[in-house]
């Protein structure tokens, strides 16, 4: 990863991080216990939580967090103490609830000679665990206390963004499969033993996904997403997406009755700004162009204790597409926009922040180009509070989608007009679901037995535009004709 670190010091990159949660009022920050197992896997489930009823096939693994010995790098393979209360009751098809991060439908059980049991889990919806109850939270959020959990073998991390579009996001496509993902039988034990889930870290996490380097972090009042290429690549891309926040506060209220969601409200306060900075170039011109869609294999988390322990989970997707026409062409651009007010949903109606322009991106577009050049960058930040396994949590969520496209005309057109174009689109959304994307689902299903069909429901999502703008400069006939 050495090639990836120098560009992080050269420029910032930005992303979206939001937040959502669940439980009793209070402040959410560090886990209340310094126990290493709690920091890694969340809080233990309660067998009889006050005010809640589990579904009949839910099996609670007792004994606190200590029965969880380890998890595999895919987030789906788990190692439990075979003598822990409830482990003998686990069967393929039942739902295991050990901690807020070890919840899923049991696909396979593999006892070992040392007294442990290896378990393969499939993701589940919130209503597959809770039959009746009310999940509520009203809390201040300290992003500096977030844990960053890398999931090295998460299915579906990398795809082609232009293949088959996914509703609500620019695209999905063929899967690049992580080589270490080996569910089933003895491979479950091998994966868990040889490639465990790494411990979470503070301040941020940097990962390589294909030939790209992505970092998610929090610093100086900004939730950041940074994406770029290694220094050795002929295609150079450095993008920094940052969300300015102050006094973040989250409220959620979800009612479940008879295994169905009756109502849910959610609101995130404290968003202030969105900023993006872009710098890119291609040594070989069109032959170096790239396109990538990444579901970042990192969970940004806060653990929330309660009768039903939950995890506040921030998930990131991003797309980058470059369009360079000539050798050694370059492109730079940057903009800052204000987003004042809450993002939330109440009674089925969505509320989005007010939008303002602090620094217009079109005024910053520059670079060296003998042929027209362009770049599209899109990011989605989903803040969810719920239960599940690393990479696949289910519950109420808030979502912010950001996309920007910039083009710079050929320098050969300067005697007449050098045209620049910018397009900006920001949307807010809220919903309640597991929300597995098509690329991830297409990779996940072949790894599971035919009887396992993860439920993926997005019927409760509401979406609204925060800003949608296109601009061309100069306003000359030659430039306007090219922008249509």
Q: Are 289 and 159 in contact (CB under 8 A)?
A: no
Residue 481 pLDDT: 63
Q: Are 102 and 108 in contact (CB under 8 A)?
A: no
Q: Are 356 and 340 in contact (CB under 8 A)?
A: yes
Q: Exposure of 64 by Cβ count < 10 A (0-12 exposed, 13-18 middle, 19+ buried)? A: middle
Per-10-residue mean pLDDT of the chain, 484 residues long, equals 36 30 37 64 94 97 92 92 96 94 92 90 92 89 88 82 57 32 39 72 90 90 92 91 91 94 91 95 89 91 92 91 89 95 92 95 86 90 91 91 88 61 94 75 68 57 92 73 54
Q: How far apart are CA 247 and CA 268, in angstroms?
A: 10
Q: How far apart are CA 250 and CA 354, in angstroms?
A: 18
Q: Are 366 and 322 in contact (CB under 8 A)?
A: no
Residue 168 pLDDT: 54
Q: How far apart are CA 91 and CA 94, in angstroms?
A: 5
Closest Cα partner for 16 from 210, 296, 235, 232?
A: 296
Residue 478 pLDDT: 59
Report in angstroms the alpha-carbon separations of 292 from 171, 225, 247, 408. 10, 15, 34, 21
Closest Cα partner for 251 from 16, 43, 24, 460?
A: 24
Cα-flanking dihedrals φ and ψ of residue 89, to 5°?
-90, -10
Q: How far apart are CA 56 and CA 105, in angstroms?
A: 13
Q: Using only C-alpha atoms, what is the Rg of the chain?
A: 23
Closest Cα partner for 255 from 132, 348, 158?
A: 132
**pTM to 2 decimals?**
0.83
8 secondary structure, DSSP code: H
- Report DSSP letters for 288-324, one per residue: G--EEEEE-SEEEEEEE-SSS-EEEEEEEEEEEEEE-
Residue 8 pLDDT: 33
Residue 474 pLDDT: 78
């Amino acid at each position: 990863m050495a090639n990836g670190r120098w560009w992080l010091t050269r420029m910032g990159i930005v992303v979206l991080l939001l937040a959502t949660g669940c439980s009793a009022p209070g402040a959410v920050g560090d886990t209340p216990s310094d126990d290493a197992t709690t920091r890694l896997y969340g809080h233990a489930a309660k067998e009889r939580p006050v005010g809640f009823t589990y579904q009949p096939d839910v099996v609670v693994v007792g004994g606190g967090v200590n029965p969880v010995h380890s998890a595999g790098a895919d987030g789906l393979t788990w190692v439990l103490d075979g003598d822990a209360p409830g482990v003998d009751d686990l069967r393929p098809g039942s739902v295991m609830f050990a901690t807020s991060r070890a919840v899923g439908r049991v696909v396979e059980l593999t006892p070992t000679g040392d007294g442990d049991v290896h378990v393969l889990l499939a993701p589940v919806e919130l209503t597959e665990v809770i039959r009746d109850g009310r999940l509520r939270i009203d809390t201040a959020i300290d992003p500096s206390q977030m844990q960053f959990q890398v999931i090295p073998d998460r299915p579906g991390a990398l795809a082609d963004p232009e293949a088959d579009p996914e509703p609500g996001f620019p695209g999905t496509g063929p899967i690049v499969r992580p080589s270490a993902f080996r569910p089933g039988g003895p491979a479950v034990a091998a994966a868990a033993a040889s490639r465990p889930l790494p411990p979470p870290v503070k301040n941020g996490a940097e990962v390589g996904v294909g030939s790209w380097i992505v970092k998610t972090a929090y610093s100086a009042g900004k939730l950041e997403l940074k994406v770029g290429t290694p220094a050795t690549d002929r295609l150079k891309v450095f993008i920094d997406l940052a969300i300015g926040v102050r006094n973040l506060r989250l409220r959620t209220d979800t009612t479940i009755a008879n295994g169905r969601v009756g109502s849910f409200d959610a609101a995130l306060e404290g968003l202030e700004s969105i900023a993006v900075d872009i710098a890119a170039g291609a040594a070989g011109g069109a032959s170096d162009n790239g396109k990538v869609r990444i579901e970042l294999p990192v969970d940004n988390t806060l653990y929330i204790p309660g009768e039903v322990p939950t995890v506040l989970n921030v998930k990131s997707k991003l797309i980058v597409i470059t369009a360079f026409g000539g050798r050694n062409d370059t492109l730079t651009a940057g903009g800052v926009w204000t987003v004042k007010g809450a993002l939330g949903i109440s009674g089925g109606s969505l509320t989005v922040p007010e939008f303002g322009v602090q620094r217009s991106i079109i005024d910053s577009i520059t670079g060296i180009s003998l042929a027209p050049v362009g770049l599209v960058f899109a990011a989605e930040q989903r803040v969810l509070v719920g239960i599940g396994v690393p990479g696949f949590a289910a519950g109420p969520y808030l979502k912010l989608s950001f996309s920007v496209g910039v083009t710079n005309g050929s320098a050969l057109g300067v005697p007449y007009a050098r045209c620049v174009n910018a397009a900006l689109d920001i949307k807010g959304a809220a919903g309640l679901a597991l929300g597995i994307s098509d690329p991830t689902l297409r990779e996940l299903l072949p790894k599971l037995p035919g009887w396992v069909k993860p439920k993926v429901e997005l019927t409760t999502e509401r979406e609204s535009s925060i800003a949608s703008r296109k601009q061309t400069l100069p306003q000359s006939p030659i430039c306007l004709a090219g922008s249509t």
